[in-house]
Structure 1
Amino acid sequence: MYALQDPGSIASPALLVYRDIATENIRRMIAMAGGPERLMPHVKTHKMAPLVAEQLQQGITRFKCATFAEAQMLAEAGAKDILMAYQLNSPTAEAFAMLAFRFQKIRFASLVDNIASARLLNDIWEKAAASRKPIGFLPSAAPVPQKARVYIDIDCGQHRTGIAPSGAAALWRELQALPHVEVAGLHAYDGHIRETDMTERTRQCNEAFAPVAELARQMGDVEIIAGGSPTFPIHLQRPGVICSPGTSILWDEGYRTSCPEQDFTPAALLLTRVISKPQEGYITLDLGHKAVSAENPITKRVFFKNLGEYEVISQSEEHLVVKTPQAASIQVGDVLYGLPYHVCPTVALYNEATVIRDGKAIASWPIARGRRILNTANFSTK
């Protein structure tokens, strides 16, 4: 179902997004949740405004992101609620504030796990409330948002970011003293829980979540945003918890094999071509490190659905060498379709995606990548 009618019109390597499959994945995600109100999908996987528009059309209004480029894309696409699931430093914090002031009908929030980061946000909002100069793009009568909304980032076992649940109550009390900061709730990402066995995955997830739930009760039953794609069906069993799967919309080989209980279909493939046949039984593809995520072992980077038996031998910046009994029947210039093992960082390697429907390329969608931010030269809090 992935083969193109005219692959000759697309330069390789290329990222292909199959629109109807992505649309169906969104529908299935909403059906699993029992409605769009339980969802705050993470856009880091796809980074594409048209897919945000599709989710908005199906009733999803809240989104998570990880970079300023993604936050700006969401704002311009019409999202109603944007959580930048990242702790902000200067100058991104100032740029994020400018985005919030510019799109005042959107609810913006970010994460904090320490008081110093929260004070930075407090100072930015305090200066904005006291002076119009840093935000001169606003109409003179426009009200300035008085508080920076934050979620306390909880370390529930991954030990990457966040504060331990035991210390979060003290941080929450410190945040109450900041006049320009509003605590919207708790954020608990359990990306370390990836067991294929659903019983064991559920046990680990429940164990990690228990102190988060207790902390929320101490804080007055505040909102909790929890989990990612592997623990999505587990957190759905907790009334009121907002779930933020991300990979569900595009899916990939990694989650297809490790989360078989979730009925999603891969919606993003890589079009690659044979560029050489260096020796008997081998083919070389234009699918190097720059075209498919290479953080996993060589055997877990890309999977070819129309090649049959094969073994990936090596990969460099521009090349992927494959050993296959089919090599004799394959010609230089032939097209193969590769399914990424990890689609999120693979998408981030491309500036655009070629959109496919009924075997034909119908559009090109830009991808919100890169680290450029708004000009914050006149927005210093010092």
Structure 2
Amino acid sequence: MEWYQLANAAQIDSPAIVIYSDRVKDNIALLKTMIDDIQRLRPHVKTNKIAEVVQLMQEAGIQRFKCATIAEAEMLGMVQAEDVLLAYQPVGPKIVRLLELVQKYPQTAFSCVTDNKDTALAISDIFAAQGRRLPVYVDLNVGMNRTGIRPGQAALELYQYLHTLPGVIPVGLHAYDGHIHDTDMTIRKEKCDAAYAPVAMLATQIADTGLPRPVIIAGGSPTFPVHAKRKDIQCSPGTFVFWDWGYGKNLPEQPFKWAALVLSRVISVIDEQHICLDLGHKSVAAESPQPRVHFLNAPAAQIISQSEEHLVLKVETASQFPVGTVLYGVPLHICPTVALYEKAYVVEDNAAIANWRIVARDRQIII
């Protein structure tokens, strides 16, 4: 029996997501060997969104985390994570929700990012009104062109401005370089170093003004091997915990294992070469071009079409895949795939033995 096959697959309705806990633990252990100090790790939980997975990282000694939503931050508070960065600038009601998180989970040190004076002032006003000061990081745009302020004079002035506000405490810089994902490691490193240089310069400029040297949080999965070799900065890979087909193909220097698969079934045999599965847009991340999933036990299958509830494959001989056949797929992009499911089946020794709720897929848990 292959590592991914389930002896009790007949008990699992499809489509489903299945998590291989031993492989998750292996991926966490591998991550720890790739950096000189595990205290420099701040994994992003957007990939897993599961409290039990976070607890596996905590048991391995990882205590700092990064997240993108209030629900993810609350999940981390629920498992008493020591240090949580909301790497998403809170605007409007989210500022109040973040305050409520800070109040409800006092054992967790929460922080957030900001990239402009108006939002920083709004955060400060709400926290200061409750006699609190929230640690904040300046979010830097190092080429992603999505959020953040360019490192330079304006960013320095913003950092200095934060020190004048009563409701925040500026502690560092956040630089996500998600636009860098070249397969060639030499090219990737060159681009990563170029994007990081202005961040390091800004940190020096801040220190030169007499302020404490800022903490730097940088990178994601593609640039993790580069940032891991720097000194003192914190690194934020996330996909490593489950891995996926996209990163497995494009980042060969990172030998993580596929630890989360989608389980699907053949629901119709169309003709001699075409079959239909129950793996539609609602069951695997659909933002990328096809193929969005690679089937381990049907590697030659070609995706012909996909709709909300259906996936049509072309195979060499359809009779080899009768109705009811279970297929195991590696998603191209695991992070949004996980968010499509309410629960995951946990696998040990080729059998599903438990369910883990994907608690942070929701926009709101309690707060």
TM-score (ref. length: structure 1): 0.92
Which of 271, 277, 284 does residue 279 from structure 1 map onto?
271
Q: Cα deviation per residue 1:265-298 (whole Å; 9 max; x = unaligned)? A: 0100000000011222000000000000011112
Count of aligned positions? 358
Give matches, 1:125-274, under 5 Å: 125-129=127-131, 146-166=132-152, 167-220=154-207, 221-274=213-266
Q: Residue 354 of structure 2 aligns to a residue in which SS?
A: strand
| Correspondence for 2:339 | 348
Measure the CA separation in 2 of the matches of 1:196 and 1:322.
28
Q: Residue 278 of structure 1 aligns to a residue in which SS?
A: strand
Q: What is the identity percentage for the equivalent residue pairs of Structure 1 and Structure 2? A: 48
| Correspondence for 2:67 | 65
AA partner of residue 15 (structure 2): P
Q: Residue 165 of structure 1 aligns to a residue in which SS?
A: coil
1:4 touches 1:359 (CA, 8 Å); kept in 2?
yes
- Of stretches 151-160 and 219-228 in structure 1, the one that deviates more from structure 2 is 219-228
Which of 110, 117, 122 does residue 120 from structure 1 map onto?
122
Spell out structure 1 runs of 4+ moving beyond 6 A: none
Q: Residue 201 of structure 2 aligns to a residue in which SS?
A: helix
| Correspondence for 1:132 | none
Unaligned runs of 5+ in 1: 130-145, 376-382
Measure the CA separation in 2 of the matches of 1:201 and 1:37.
25
Measure the CA separation in 2 of the matches of 1:160 and 1:126.
29
Evaluate the alpha carbon distance shift between residue 233 and residue 91 of structure 1 in structure 2; reply closer, same or farther with a 3 A threshold: same
Q: Cα deviation per residue 1:130-149 (whole Å; 9 max; x = unaligned)? A: xxxxxxxxxxxxxxxx2111
Unaligned runs of 5+ in 2: 208-212
Measure the CA separation in 2 of the matches of 1:100 and 1:114.
22
Measure the CA separation in 1 of the matches of 2:284 and 2:9.
19
| Correspondence for 2:210 | none
Measure the CA separation in 2 of the matches of 1:330 and 1:30.
41
2:74 touches 2:365 (CA, 8 Å); kept in 1?
no
| Correspondence for 1:16 | 18
Q: CA deviation at 1:105?
A: 2.4
| Correspondence for 2:328 | 337
| Correspondence for 1:379 | none
TM-score (ref. length: structure 2): 0.96
Measure the CA separation in 1 of the matches of 2:193 and 2:117.
28
Q: Residue 243 of structure 2 aligns to a residue in which SS?
A: coil
Q: Cα deviation per residue 1:74-104 (whole Å; 9 max; x = unaligned)? A: 0001200000110001211111111112222
Q: CA deviation at 1:373?
A: 6.2
Measure the CA separation in 2 of the matches of 1:92 and 1:47.
19
Measure the CA separation in 2 of the matches of 1:217 and 1:328.
66
Measure the CA separation in 1 of the matches of 2:280 and 2:286.
9
1:33 paired with 2:35, answer yes
AA partner of residue 350 (structure 1): Y
2:273 touches 2:315 (CA, 8 Å); kept in 1?
yes
